[in-house]
């Protein structure tokens, strides 16, 4: 992208965020400090509920089995084995993380509305944005815990494999643990952005619509550079539509370091943190919009 154009977009983005904050300040400013305990309480019960339902346990067990099963490819050279373990492990973390993000993001709020458990909460001195943020923080903790466990298992498998093949004369086994952890953290950050957007949709759409939209967003968000190239070569209304999609959808591919890490290609940590900062700004806007939409929703 043209750097000048990017700067204009960045400033416009800041103006939009400032505008939203200014317009909605009456809704949250007076009790922003008071809101934190409520947000934390709702986040905690969201996490506790997910733990009780034991769905997460099943996901983690499945991923652990997949990771351990990959260690059976003993005919590969240590280097190839490391590449396969890292690539497969990070792919498993990403895929299960995305599935979990989609279902957590799409169901948390609609399920409470459908089951009417939201009644007893909103009848208490809880602002609706506190409820939305509480649910989001809860989702972040759930995703964080699952990604952390899956990453720990992957790191453990790599470390064990490194130890087992240490005496072999062939090419050295490179577990690239730092890179794996970095890629997993980036993957988690992309899940955080995706979950916020899914929650925004869930405040206005049905659960089915939200789940379908979530898969589309994930696909579009992961193909942003291709969409940009298409937009550059397109003309007229198509160009406009593609540019709108490019700028509105989250840039999830900026968080994807799996290819570099598994192929031992050098990567820029700086570009990772830039993606995180951009993602945080994007998530902030999305959560403000989700709070506004949920504030007007009749439950």
Partner 1 sequence: MSSQEAVLQTEGLTKIYRSLLTPAGVKAVDGLNLSVRAGETYSVVGPNGSGKTTTLKILLGLIFPTSGSASIFGRTIADLAVRERIGFLPEDAYLYDCFSGEELIDFYAGLFGYSRKKRRQLVDELLSLVGMQANRRVPFRECSKGMRQRLALAQALVNDPELLILDEPTSGLDPAGRHQMTQLILELKRRGKTILLCSHFLAEVVEVCDRVGIMYRGRLVAEGTLSDLAGEATEIVITTAGIGEAAVQQLAQQPVVQDVKDGVVRIENADESQLWAVLESVHGAGGQILEITRPRPTLQDVFVRTIGEEAE
Given the rule CB under 8 A, which of 36-44, 71-79, 189-197, 265-273 is the region that contacts partner 1?
A: 36-44
Instruction: Report 280-299 residues binding partner 1 (CB under 8 A).
Output: 298-299
Q: Which is nearer to partner 1, 41 or 247 (CB)?
A: 41
Given the rule CB under 8 A, which of 114-122, 178-186, 241-249, 256-264 is the region that contacts partner 1?
A: 114-122
Given the rule CB under 8 A, which of 89-97, 113-121, 222-230, 250-258 is the region that contacts partner 1?
A: 113-121
Given the rule CB under 8 A, which of 46-54, 71-79, 225-233, 276-284 is the region that contacts partner 1?
A: 46-54
Cβ of residue 193: shortest distance to partner 1, in angstroms? 28
Q: Does 123 bind partner 1 (CB under 8 A)?
A: yes
Mapping DSSP onto H, E and C, the string for the chain reads CCHHHHHHHHHHHHHHHHHHHHHHHHHHCCCHHHHHHHHHHHHHHHHHHHHHHCHHHHHHHHHHHHHHHHHHCCCCCHHHHHHHHHHHHHHHHHHHHHHHHHHHHHHHHHHHHHHCHHHHHHCCCCCHHHHHHHHHHHHHHHHHHHHHHHHHHHHHHHHHHHHHCCCCCCCCCCCCHHHHHHHHHHHHHHHHHHHHHHHHHHCCCCHHHHHHHHHHHHHHHHCHHHHHHHHHHCCHHHHHHHHHHHHHCCCHHHHCCHHHHHCCCCCCHHHHHHHHHHHHHHHHHHHHHHHHHHHCCCC
Instruction: Report 163-222 residues binding partner 1 (CB under 8 A).
Output: none
Cβ of residue 261: shortest distance to partner 1, in angstroms? 38
Q: Which is nearer to partner 1, 112 or 256 (CB)?
A: 112
Q: Which is nearer to partner 1, 122 or 155 (CB)?
A: 122
Pick from 120, 169, 236, 237 the residue near partner 1 by CB under 8 A: 120
Pick from 52, 167, 235, 237 the residue near partner 1 by CB under 8 A: 52
- Report the interface residues with partner 1, using CB under 8 A: 31, 34, 37-38, 41, 45, 48-49, 52-53, 115-117, 119-127, 298-299
């Amino acid at each position: 992208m043209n750097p000048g154009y990017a700067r204009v977009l960045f400033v416009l983005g800041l103006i939009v965020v400032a505008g939203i904050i200014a317009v909605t300040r009456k809704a949250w400013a007076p009790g922003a400090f008071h809101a934190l305990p409520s947000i934390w309480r709702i986040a905690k019960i969201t996490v506790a509920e997910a733990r009780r339902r034991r769905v997460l346990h099943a996901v983690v067990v499945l991923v652990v089995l997949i990771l351990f099963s990959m260690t059976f490819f003993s005919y590969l050279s240590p280097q190839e084995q490391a590449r396969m373990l890292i690539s497969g492990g990070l792919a498993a973390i990403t895929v299960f993380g995305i599935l979990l993000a989609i279902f957590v993001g799409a169901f948390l709020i609609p399920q409470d509305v459908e089951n009417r458990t939201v009644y007893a909460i909103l009848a208490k001195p809880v602002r609706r944005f506190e409820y939305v943020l509480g649910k989001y923080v809860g989702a972040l903790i759930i995703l964080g815990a699952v990604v952390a466990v899956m990453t720990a298992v992957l790191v453990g498998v790599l470390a064990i494999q490194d130890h087992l093949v240490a005496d072999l004369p062939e090419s050295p086994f490179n577990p690239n643990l730092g890179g794996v952890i970095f890629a997993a953290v980036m993957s988690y950050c992309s899940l955080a952005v995706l979950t916020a957007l899914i929650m925004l949709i869930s405040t206005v759409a049905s659960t089915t619509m939200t789940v379908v939209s979530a898969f589309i967003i994930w696909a579009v968000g992961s193909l942003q550079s291709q969409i940009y190239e298409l937009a550059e070569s397109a003309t007229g209304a198509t160009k406009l539509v593609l540019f709108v999609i490019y700028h509105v959808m989250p840039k999830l591919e900026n968080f994807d370091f799996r290819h570099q890490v598994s192929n031992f290609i050098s990567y820029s940590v700086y570009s990772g943190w830039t993606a995180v900062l951009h993602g945080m700004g994007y998530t902030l806007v999305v959560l403000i919009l989700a709070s506004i939409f949920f504030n007007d929703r009749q439950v």
